[in-house]
Amino acid sequence: MTILGIETSFDETSAAFINNGTDFVYQYFSTSMAKHISTGGVVPEVASREQSIYIIPVLQQVLTSMQSHHSNIDAIAVTVGPGLIGSLLIGVETAKALAYAWDKPLIPVNHMLGHIYGVWLTYGQDMNQQWPKLALLASGGHTELILMESHAKFYKIGQTLDDAAGEAFDKVARLLGYPYPGGPHVSTLAELGNPQAINFPLPLRSATGYNFSFSGLKTAVLHYVKDNPSASKADIAASFQQTVITHLLRQTQAAAHKFAVKEVILGGGVAANKQLRSQLVTALQPIIVRIPDLKYTTDNAAVIASAAYYHQNFASWRYVQADPSLELPSIIDP
């Protein structure tokens, strides 16, 4: 089954086609990232205008490639939320128009569910063996723990109470004088510093449950920078990064043990962080940890098409709508 995926939830315009959920065939994307550097973050109006400029050329590229692969499209998958409404609408309305014109089924996909499936594209069918699994998703807008009993049965068991992990990286980068997106800058700088140099408070140290919090940590970094203007930026970056990672690991470990999961999955833009990737594997031993290839960490249509294969909730184009605040199903107080 060949699925054409379309992802336009934020600043990436991406289309891809994937066979049977795990076989990557082709992906093409454009990003409006350069437009957001001068403003220090994504301006929604600018992002959606760029989406409307890129969507047709990106699709042209992917459809030309499909012809050369002699592939036929069986279904169209599109991110319907969460994300920026103006950006989402470009992808959703385009997918609806294609589904109508080609008379193909449409599969609406939750963007966060897509982030889980980067590991299916990385490890293939092997991912279908061991359940239950726990997914740690950390991006610029979300930080969540998802318990998966099967493809069909999954629940959010923890989430951030304030800022997302990626957002904390972006804000600390700004404090240290680096442009958006800050995660890659902070992590490169952190390699040169001492992660034990500064004792930033560990978030939710004595709380129960599997939630996250990053705004107190961001404020602690802000105060430290103000009070210690000549402190080493590398030490600040390394100590901040280590506190974020320790917090992510502690909550993930607690949930992994409580629910006796067989595998832990990493996903989302922050999954590109080298230290997080290696420390997660060590901290969760002997549980298998699935780390996505770097190309599946940031927003991309390949993971949307993969998720759609395992969640074939076909919908008529008449009823598919963009929903900027769409959430995954959740259980409270597990």
Contact residues: ligand KG4, CB under 6 A = 10, 139-141, 166-167, 169-170, 181-184, 187, 268-270, 272-273, 298-299
CB atoms within 10 A of CB 141: 18
Give me 184's structure tokens: 């890659």
Which listed range, 132-140, 193-201, 233-241, 278-286, lies at the site for Zn ion (CB under 5 A)? 132-140
Provide the minimum distance between the beta carbon of 137 and Zn ion in the complex, in angstroms, as a whole number: 8
Radius of gyration of the chain (CA): 20
In whole angstroms, what is the distance from residue 53 CA to residue 32 CA? Answer: 10
Provide the minimum distance between the beta carbon of 235 and Zn ion in the complex, in angstroms, as a whole number: 30
**What Cα–Cα distance (Å) separates residue 10 from each residue in 81, 267, 330?**
10, 17, 23
Q: Is the peptide bond before 334 cis (omega within 30 degrees of 0)?
A: no
Provide the minimum distance between the beta carbon of 118 and ligand KG4 in the complex, in angstroms, as a whole number: 10
- Per-position x/- string for 250-289, each x denoting binding to Zn ion as judged by CB under 5 A, each - no binding: ----------------------------------------
Is residue 170 within the footprint of Zn ion (CB under 5 A)?
no
Q: Which residue is nearest to Zn ion (CB)?
A: 139
Work out what residue 334 binds among ligand KG4, Zn ion, none; the CB cut-off runs from 5 to 8 Å by kind. none
Provide the minimum distance between the beta carbon of 9 and Zn ion in the complex, in angstroms, as a whole number: 7
Nearer to ligand KG4, 105 or 108 (CB): 108
Give me 204's structure tokens: 């939710």
Work out what residue 163 binds among ligand KG4, Zn ion, none; the CB cut-off runs from 5 to 8 Å by kind. none
CB atoms within 10 A of CB 89: 18
Nearer to Zn ion, 138 or 157 (CB): 138
DSSP state of 28: E
Give me 52's structure tokens: 């409307």
In sequence order, which residues have a C-beta less than 8 Å from that of residue 262 and are 6 or more positions away?
130, 131, 132, 133, 287, 288
Work out what residue 82 binds among Zn ion, ligand KG4, none; the CB cut-off runs from 5 to 8 Å by kind. none
In sequence order, which residues have a C-beta less than 8 Å from that of residue 205 and are 6 or more positions away?
none
Work out what residue 187 binds among ligand KG4, Zn ion, none; the CB cut-off runs from 5 to 8 Å by kind. ligand KG4
Provide the minimum distance between the beta carbon of 166 and ligand KG4 in the complex, in angstroms, as a whole number: 3
In whole angstroms, what is the distance from residue 34 CA to residue 239 CA? Answer: 29
Which listed range, 83-91, 143-151, 227-235, 299-307, lies at the site for Zn ion (CB under 5 A)? 299-307
Work out what residue 107 binds among ligand KG4, Zn ion, none; the CB cut-off runs from 5 to 8 Å by kind. none
Work out what residue 91 binds among ligand KG4, Zn ion, none; the CB cut-off runs from 5 to 8 Å by kind. none
Buried b / exposed e over 159-197, threshold 16 CB at 10 Å, is bbebbbbbbbbbbbbbbbebbbbbbebbbebbeebebee
Provide the minimum distance between the beta carbon of 112 and Zn ion in the complex, in angstroms, as a whole number: 7
In whole angstroms, what is the distance from residue 9 CA to residue 23 CA? Answer: 23
Nearer to Zn ion, 113 or 186 (CB): 113
DSSP helix/strand/coil, 314:
coil
Provide the minimum distance between the beta carbon of 71 and ligand KG4 in the complex, in angstroms, as a whole number: 27
